[in-house]
Structure 1
């Protein structure tokens, strides 16, 4: 056959050279290093991978590729003997390569492997495939640092031998990049095992073990910091461990360790940077000034010739990691080392490159990155101009979820401010001062900025005025209501004056203006109008991020609570609770309105501990971003909570303090007087309570006055005061609950049980529906005996009354001892319902289309949760808890 005849090499193919003597070290499995730790997960991956024909292990220099495979080759479970070849650059010549392979296979027991000869590679490869395929047991061939040129004869021959040798040959390739073999074919058939950089990265447990091997006892925080800073890079961790071994403060070293450590820099410069051609070296250094890059940015920083180099770089350098959609980044350790080298070798280039990056990011509308590079270029005035003209001042103020700009601009140099020709640096400085809680600095910078605003052309004046207005609004500078309204109106007009479509792109600003309109209506005592404004702002708030969304929901809930709609407020609070909350934010990311509404709902439901917790959160949040209205409402609710907790003197002290501050808000002054009436009556001062109730007026004042009359044993006067309120549908639900409750009390005292029962039933129905429980807790002394004498009245409201501590049965979800009684799942309730119909276990299984064993499992859970042992007991207890 023609295939058996010797042939001359094809044109362009290298004629094999005579084999040269083989170094024994190149065909021996490397010995186990003294510092090596066993990485069981990699051992298992290699064991599983070598059950198939091809395993590829790729990663950057120092990733631990060779060490991991060598450890498995000497101590792991292998399908057969291991032939190891350590390759250098000259070893990729075919004659030298195949000589090493044959020598390694011979040491692994493949005695009949052919020797490379002058007769040609085709015959040699055919003979090698024949020798391997005739073996009974598999053999593993490891090629360490295998990197032949793509499309080379050697790459094709290795692929050919792997395919022709059949299942006997198990090939393991170790390389910094993907070897030029048809990996896609093996991947498609499930015959390729891949161990990549992410797999080679040390995890926390492995890092801890490596440090322990060096005698370093590190805290969990230090281990985590090292893992994060090195991204699990083995060489970096090893260098860090060696330094920490004799370090007086290893934890401090771990916290500060980075890619600019001299040992790390020396390693990476030698292994990664200095082995590159000059053009690639230049590209690497120039790209180190940015955190992420794509082909266009590479050309901007390194010139148009960088495009081809960039494509090779991202394909061949394992330290270049994909981010998404054509964007890449350096491994953090390499990036820091390259940046340090750039600053040492070309100190004048760094500022120029940052300026180029700033301009490029500005053109691509990546404002935060543009501003960051402008600052790093030493041009904070340009950074300020980018932020103001780009309408990004809200990101400095914390109006959106991103907070990258505030720390970046937190220390604007005096020279940038002193020599500023425009208002932008002062506007940014004012926003930063506001974020840092520096009211004096904010006012001074804002004043200078507004003086410079007059000289600006219109195209620059509009965004600058918008920035100034936002700063004033977030700071709540105007003391007078009309000034604040004018400010919000001007801000609204500034947003409208932006180029077409710009307002739509700034939902966080639109939401802030809408929220401000709502707060204005609250301050003027029009919660209904406020609710409309908050609803109108809600779509923009949802688009503006979690902070604005929470803030708007909080405003809606607060408006609802001020109107007595506590059920509606509770529903809104439930929606707000689903959104993430970040507490460390100068702009009050712990939205005070949200916690204030939560506290109000909890107080009306008589959950006093929860109300106090929420009020504490209001205090913290409002300290970050003070608001006069929210502060006043916080103090008012705190006073009411003190009354409910039996501390009327403390409440009166608080009310006396805030009463003088309520002159600008008559509606709030009225609420203070109502709370004073409540506190005076609790402190047995009916005369003062009467004055406060009369001063308050309205339906709430009438109910407060009725309580005073009842306290003074004037039932007729109390009845006259409360009668019109009971029948007033526009009165807040909480007021009507109190009115019906007072009428019930009066009726029972007059021994008119029929009227008393009707009034109490109406109070209970309304209170349960609207989540109003505090009046019932206050009426505990006369209410408990009535409920005990009339179980039929209390039975429909057992859960509600139980939650208030007035007898009955609390909701199972609120039971304090879930080990005795726990909430039933939907399926368990279904089983319980069928059980109550006297169905057998088999019948329940048939009815629910489940197995008998599953039914038995549900029954066991039901018995445990209801603390019973038999079916009849379960049904009876379920009926008692109104589960059936």
Structure 2
């Protein structure tokens, strides 16, 4: 075949020949097997597209594949320049490349008007796969070359395989091949160098970086091959490579020079200006582009960025530039129009603020060095909770770090922001100073700014881990009053505000001993906290609600809440180092109630760590109370006494609970007088817990009559009795009834205790009474049979019942009582028995009560089973 007529002279022939051979791979090329393998698989289909910005390594990747002998057929290569996409030039180059690949190209194919069809015939006649590589293809949609190439690819199937490298998608029907599964795409993400691939690239320049700097360099360049190569060149012989990497960005002079030459110099002035002004924001759409550069910029924005390989399309019409490209553009903008940079950032900040995009708005206000405006945006939009860690926003906090001190001393909002950032970072001293200054400045604000500023100040105070009770009450009351003045819907997007206020109100109610009100407040706070992603706020609400439910003896609910709290991090990153002592105390109380004493000790130790960092009188008192109760269960009353006596401070209700624990300790130590003195000292009329503790003291003194009287009065109280206290009282009543040879009452009381304990998973009262319950359970299988699950949890063993125990009858049954038993065994009702025996219904009921007492049962069915076992019926 001859060189085409349009390229017939010797010099042009040499140029053509250089364009239709696979380029030589530079010696410094890093062969990346994963991309070669992807291209190998792609060559099995009709079309492979390799796209990316200048310097992404497109050509290098395809050359690596082409020279790796991994192709299913010969490769026809064409290297294109922008001027080569005219039909009269393009088709002769394609024909020449196919000829060099061994295709018998006909003379008719030299007519560029007929070339697509003729070349399709020539390729099909070859009868084997051939790969056509078009490197650096740039053609417009619906151009003559585009239409012809589409026709060639369709007509020469399945033998022609096309591989295209370009800066943007080629003007080919990609969607058609994608749907048919015949398209392989190698995009900028595939071309990006991974860390393991960047290592040999740097090593070619004698550069070796530690893992952290290497990771930072790859992240900063986003794996852009040219960026990595330029960095490697600059790093050769550098005395401080780690320091260089930390500073390396798009404003590096070598990067700027490369991008100016490859991208900007080829652009007309209006497009160049568009790229410069739209580099100011981190992401941009056509509306923002119009805001920054004017209406014309907005109109042409989409077309320009779609033609820019350094622009990545995001969702909903947003684009972002490659970070190094954006940095280079910003540097050029600072040199060419230094006065525009601040104004462009402020325009961007205002636009983002109008759109409700707070983080972007704040970032641009800070870049414009307008810290006051950035702070007003945060405070005015009730976003201080995002700084405090209630709804963590690390990016927003980072954007506001480094605020100059002089700014915080001149306006209220910057001072509030500085205080919130300090609180989130665990610097409570700096927070207090900034808050004090800001509070003074709030008085000078106009009303429209004063209300959100005072609300922000109140929220910062509420996150103080260690205010006294009076300060907390004042802060909560102030914030509650401020919230009433805000429009109801203004807090719809800020559930963390209501969660914080309600949780703070709950802490006040808990401190006053109003557990029902505290539970309501914490429950409402949790509802709002769950609408946020604030782990500390959710754990705070869950922990306090769980602990409050423990105090209300609602251990089923407390167990579920404590388990949910345990699923969240123990130490929350925001606010810094904050632990939730209440969560550990709730877990300890639940573990104690379930008699998991090692776990209870473990949670108490973790609670003490939290309280050492942030002391709290109520939580410290609760820690002492639970610790003392664990000591008592483990049979360590003296240690329990030391724990109680070593606790100072705390509300009156908690001191009272601690004194009752002290009374129990004295009882276990065999000091009933001291136990009675302690219980009577803090006892209140009608208080069931005081009554139970005092009854135990009287039992310890051997005065069963007084103990029984106290228990009977406690159980007769009309008010609600906490479930665990009621179980304790029923157990004491059962114990005393069995002691007074009234087994029927004892059995009834024990059955009630078992039923309530089984329902509410209350194990601790039974463990306290293990000594006398264990033998009783062995002797009465009918009683414990419905509660085997509870006994398994208690690790009680009902065992095999001895015959002597089964045969026990507490009193001889009369003849009439035996008659009633016989009728009972026939499933007769009370009325039927009365009619059969010619007695009144009340007489039958009296006989039944006597039968139950003598057989130590509480139900008809149990009486019949017992009677049959004893051969009475």
Deviation, 1:177, is 0.6
Quickly say closer, same or farther: Cα 1:613–1:370, change in 2 above 3 A. farther
Find the counterpart in structure 1 of residue 442 from structure 2: 453
Q: Contact conserved, 1:466 with 1:491, CA < 8 A, in 2?
A: yes
Deviation, 1:239, is 5.4
Find the counterpart in structure 2 of residue 288 from structure 1: 279
Separation in 2, partners of 1:88, 1:147: 8
Deviation, 1:566, is 1.0
Which one of the candidate residues 647, 653, 658 is aligned to 1:667?
653
Find the counterpart in structure 1 of residue 818 from structure 2: none
**Which structure has the greater CA radius of gyration?**
2
Separation in 1, partners of 2:712, 2:239: 80
Say whether residues 1:399 and 2:385 are aligned partners: no
Say whether residues 1:571 and 2:564 are aligned partners: no
Separation in 1, partners of 2:206, 2:624: 57
Find the counterpart in structure 1 of residue 833 from structure 2: none
Separation in 1, partners of 2:143, 2:319: 29
Deviation, 1:718, is 3.9
Deviates more, 1:169-178 or 1:34-43: 34-43
Mapping 1:501-540, distance limit 5 Å: 501-540=489-528
Say whether residues 1:61 and 2:54 are aligned partners: yes
Separation in 2, partners of 1:377, 1:223: 32
Find the counterpart in structure 2 of residue 300 from structure 1: 291
Q: Contact conserved, 2:543 with 2:583, CA < 8 A, in 1?
A: yes
Q: What is the CA RMSD across the aligned residues, in angstroms? A: 3.8
Q: Contact conserved, 2:426 with 2:576, CA < 8 A, in 1?
A: no
Find the counterpart in structure 2 of residue 848 from structure 1: none
Q: Contact conserved, 2:554 with 2:723, CA < 8 A, in 1?
A: yes
Q: Deviations over 1:718-769 (max 9, x none)?
A: 4444344456672111212333344455566778776666555543443333
Deviates more, 1:601-610 or 1:276-285: 276-285
Separation in 2, partners of 1:413, 1:95: 65
Mapping 1:718-797, distance limit 5 Å: 718-726=707-715, 730-745=720-735, 759-781=749-771, 783-784=773-774, 797=787
Find the counterpart in structure 2 of residue 354 from structure 1: 345
Which one of the candidate residues 473, 482, 486 is aligned to 2:462?
473
Deviates more, 1:166-175 or 1:397-406: 397-406
Find the counterpart in structure 2 of residue 103 from structure 1: 96
Deviates more, 1:72-81 or 1:644-653: 644-653
Quickly say closer, same or farther: Cα 1:666–1:278, change in 2 above 3 A. same
Find the counterpart in structure 1 of residue 311 from structure 2: 320
Q: Secondary structure at the match of 1:404?
A: helix
Say whether residues 1:86 and 2:92 are aligned partners: no
Q: Secondary structure at the match of 1:445?
A: helix
Which one of the candidate residues 386, 400, 420 is aligned to 1:409?
400
Separation in 1, partners of 2:251, 2:775: 77
Which one of the candidate residues 96, 116, 124 is aligned to 1:133?
124
Say whether residues 1:606 and 2:598 are aligned partners: no
Q: Deviations over 1:408-446 (max 9, x none)?
A: 33433222134x2x4222322333343344444434433
Q: Secondary structure at the match of 2:149?
A: helix
Q: Contact conserved, 1:114 with 1:124, CA < 8 A, in 2?
A: no
Separation in 2, partners of 1:777, 1:467: 50
Which one of the candidate residues 550, 573, 590 is aligned to 1:584?
573
Find the counterpart in structure 2 of residue 198 from structure 1: 189
Find the counterpart in structure 1 of residue 808 from structure 2: none
Q: Secondary structure at the match of 1:284?
A: helix
Q: Contact conserved, 1:351 with 1:376, CA < 8 A, in 2?
A: yes
Q: Contact conserved, 2:390 with 2:574, CA < 8 A, in 1?
A: no
Separation in 2, partners of 1:530, 1:470: 19
Q: Contact conserved, 1:133 with 1:168, CA < 8 A, in 2?
A: yes
Deviates more, 1:170-179 or 1:430-439: 430-439
Separation in 1, partners of 2:197, 2:706: 80
Find the counterpart in structure 2 of residue 181 from structure 1: 172
Q: Contact conserved, 1:689 with 1:708, CA < 8 A, in 2?
A: yes
Say whether residues 1:464 and 2:453 are aligned partners: yes
Quickly say closer, same or farther: Cα 1:248–1:350, change in 2 above 3 A. same
Find the counterpart in structure 2 of residue 74 from structure 1: 67
Separation in 1, partners of 2:798, 2:274: 76
Deviation, 1:175, is 1.0
Find the counterpart in structure 1 of residue 689 from structure 2: 700
Mapping 1:416-427, distance limit 5 Å: 416-418=407-409, 420=410, 422-427=411-416
Quickly say closer, same or farther: Cα 1:707–1:234, change in 2 above 3 A. farther
Mapping 1:254-293, distance limit 5 Å: 259=250, 264=255, 267-293=258-284
Find the counterpart in structure 1 of residue 618 from structure 2: 629
Q: Deviations over 1:472-517 (max 9, x none)?
A: 2222786354x64454333223223224631334322123222233
Q: Contact conserved, 1:642 with 1:648, CA < 8 A, in 2?
A: yes
Separation in 2, partners of 1:366, 1:383: 12
Which one of the candidate residues 222, 231, 246 is aligned to 1:231?
222
Find the counterpart in structure 1 of residue 476 from structure 2: 488
Separation in 2, partners of 1:177, 1:433: 47
Q: Contact conserved, 1:773 with 1:804, CA < 8 A, in 2?
A: yes
Q: Contact conserved, 2:469 with 2:508, CA < 8 A, in 1?
A: no
Separation in 1, partners of 2:599, 2:255: 53
Q: Contact conserved, 2:109 with 2:118, CA < 8 A, in 1?
A: no
Deviation, 1:354, is 2.3
Separation in 2, partners of 1:76, 1:647: 81
Q: TM-score, normalised by structure 1?
A: 0.79
Which one of the candidate residues 372, 378, 384 is aligned to 1:381?
372
Quickly say closer, same or farther: Cα 1:658–1:40, change in 2 above 3 A. same
